[in-house]
Amino acid sequence: MNRRQRANVIAEQDEATAIADRALGAYLGLAIGDSLGATVAHLSAREIALEFGVHSRLIGGGWLGLKPGQVTDDTEMALCVGRALTKAGGWNLRAVCDELAAWLRSAPIDVGHACRRGFRRYIVEGTVQAVATEGHATNGACARNLPVVLACLDRTDLLDRYTLDQCHISHHHPLADAAALTLARMTRALILGHGMAAARTEANALVREHPVFMFKNYRGPCSADIVDTVRMVLCQYFAASDPRACLIATVNQGDDADTSGALVGMLAGATWGAAALPTEWMRRLDRTIAAEIRAQVAALLQIAHVSSTAATA
């Protein structure tokens, strides 16, 4: 191997290490944002300010009475999706449904209405797709989609299809679809190192197609409605310059703060990487959850690599 070839190999290894760090950052950021936000979920920004000043620590509590560093349904459902993909060695919609159904049977600490309805329908009828709806849609399916992004990192052609299939288990709505696709594409671009500008292009495309997602200067509410959630998450994410500030600003808006925290944490982690996540939060995050996240990230990136190698072979 000559000097130039050696330099190329080193550059490729550096690139792979950076991608793995951002992938891990996205997943740990999701869990940290979930745990941080859960403490102040269902409170208003004013109530949070009165009780905490600024809420910035992984202390648990909140309406679910969590232990410090404990996560909620957002992270638990993402882990179900990731578990299904890693066990199956790739995409398998029924395996995803089976994991989510098993999770529902385990009496989770929290579960949204649409998710409960979707997983129950699968258990009773065996169908993998919810009936399409209009009107409002919630944020549950979008919040658990990160493992699909990691498994499809090198395959944009598969990312959209699998994201929609995954979401339609419980949420089948044009705005929920558009939001999940946008966040999936943004997260993918960020993990691959294309930066915030590439993510902005995706977010702007969402607003052009569905102006209801206009996020500039969004002040709330931040309910479980997918439109409210995504407007808050995008507004806070694009205003931030580091993951800590990004997560704190978001969860202190309250309402569905565990899910908005999870999604903004995912984007922040995908942007700045796991190494940039505050040590005080990393130390407090539930150890079993953090260990499963690390194992899943490695396995999902391997699936992505295998699938891209097969596609180009």
Please confirm whether the linkage preceding 221 is cis (ω < 30° from 0): yes
Query: Should residue 163 be labelled a site residue for Mg ion when binding is judged by CB under 5 A?
Result: no
Residue nearer to Mg ion on the CB measure, 75 or 163: 75
Query: Should residue 73 be labelled a site residue for Mg ion when binding is judged by CB under 5 A?
Result: yes
| Contacting Mg ion within 244-283 (CB under 5 A) | 258
User: Is 86 one of the annotated binding-site residues?
Assistant: no
Q: Whose CB is nearest to Mg ion?
A: 72
Cβ atoms of 271 and 22 closer than 8 Å: yes
User: Is 72 one of the annotated binding-site residues?
Assistant: yes
Task: Report how far residue 64's alpha carbon sits from residue 157's, in angstroms, rounded to the nearest whole number.
Answer: 39
Residue nearer to Mg ion on the CB measure, 154 or 225: 225
Q: Which of 32, 30, 38 is nearest to 109 (CA)?
A: 38
Task: Report how far residue 81's alpha carbon sits from residue 62's, in angstroms, rounded to the nearest whole number.
Answer: 26
User: Is 74 one of the annotated binding-site residues?
Assistant: yes
Q: Which of 108, 38, 58, 59 is nearest to 79 (CA)?
A: 108
Structure tokens at 86: 């890693």
**Cβ 142 to Mg ion shortest distance, Å:** 12
User: Is 242 one of the annotated binding-site residues?
Assistant: no
**Cβ 310 to Mg ion shortest distance, Å:** 35
**Cβ 135 to Mg ion shortest distance, Å:** 22
Structure tokens at 222: 């931040």
Residue nearer to Mg ion on the CB measure, 236 or 307: 236
Candidates 72, 145, 229, 252: give the one binding Mg ion (CB under 5 A): 72
Query: Should residue 74 be labelled a site residue for Mg ion when binding is judged by CB under 5 A?
Result: yes
Structure tokens at 40: 């102040």
Contacts of residue 271, defined as CB under 8 A and 6 or more positions apart, other chains included, come to: 22, 25, 190, 195, 196, 199, 243
Residue nearer to Mg ion on the CB measure, 224 or 277: 224
Annotated binding site for Mg(2+): 72-74, 256, 258-259
Residues that bind Mg ion (CB under 5 A): 72-74, 258
